[in-house]
Amino acid sequence: MLNLERLRPDHADALLAFERANRAWFARTVPDRGDAYFAEFPARHAALLAEQDSGVCRFHVVLDAAGAVLGRVNLVDIADGTAELGYRVGEHAVGRGVATTAVAHLCRLASSDYALTSLTAVTTLDNLASRAVLTRNGFTVVAELTLDDRPGLRFSRSLTDGRPSE
């Protein structure tokens, strides 16, 4: 069973441990956050909470039944009924449906609790797992783009099409 919790101040230590433990794993498919991210984590966490309080972003942690962080799933740049979805799952949780389930849950929240009508997401062309998560959750490719000098895709999903999230 997965739990999706909105980011809170008391998530800081567990989230930092999760990011450190998975740093090399994440760097295989997305740009590394850099040493400053880890050195300045308390300030970064506080800034994310302030952004969330302002209403322009919604950050969430994905927890297992015991409360351990399995991943993150976020909505950023919320405006005019839309937001960009971003997510990451730790290496030990890959292949267990964690990302697909977490994204489905966030799509429901985006519609019901956050009153959003559509979401976008981007991923690199070679990130087949991320592309599969998006497709399973009703996202479709709407554009090709470049992400950090790598070919990528932009996806979109309507939250008002009557399609239930998986």
117-138 per-position pLDDT tens digit:
999 999 999 889 999 999 999 9
With contact defined as beta carbons under 8 Å apart, do 14 and 62 qualify? no
CA 16 to each of CA 9, 44, 83, 144: distance values in angstroms, whole numbers, following the listed order: 12, 11, 25, 33
Does some domain include residue 166? Answer: no
**140 belongs to a structural domain:** yes
pLDDT of residue 51: 96
User: Strand 140-147 to strand 150-158: parallel, antiparallel, or no bridges (unpaired)?
Assistant: antiparallel
**Counting every residue, how long is the chain?**
166
> Does residue 17 fall inside a structural domain?
yes
11-29 per-position pLDDT tens digit = 999 999 999 999 999 888 7
Query: 165 pLDDT exceeds 80?
Result: no
- 165 occurs within a structural domain: no
Q: Supply the pLDDT for residue 164.
A: 45
Q: What is the CATH number of the domain that holds 12?
A: 3.40.630.30
163: pLDDT strictly greater than 60: no
**What pLDDT digit, counting tens, does each position of 61-100 carry?**
999 999 999 999 999 999 999 999 999 999 999 999 999 9
Residue 14 belongs to some domain of the structure: yes
What does the pLDDT read at residue 77? 97
Instruction: Say how many domains are in the chain.
Output: 1
Whose structure tokens read 């839309």? Answer: 82
- pLDDT value, residue 166: 42
CA distance 118 to 75: 11
Global pTM value = 0.91
Q: Residue 109's pLDDT band (boundaries 50, 70, 90)?
A: very high
Q: Is residue 97 part of a domain?
A: yes
DSSP secondary structure of the chain: --EEEE--GGGHHHHHHHHHHTHHHHHTTS----HHHHHTHHHHHHHHHHHHHHTS-EEEEEE-TTS-EEEEEEEEEEETTEEEEEEEE-GGGTTTTHHHHHHHHHHHHHHHTT---EEEEEEETT-HHHHHHHHHTT-EEEEEEEETTEEEEEEEEESSSSPPP-
In a domain, 41, yes or no: yes
- Tokens describing residue 90: 């730790």
Q: Do 18 and 90 contact (CB within 8 A), yes or no?
A: yes
Structural domain includes residue 130:
yes
Q: Which domain holds residue 124?
A: 3-158
Q: Are 122 and 155 in contact (CB under 8 A)?
A: yes
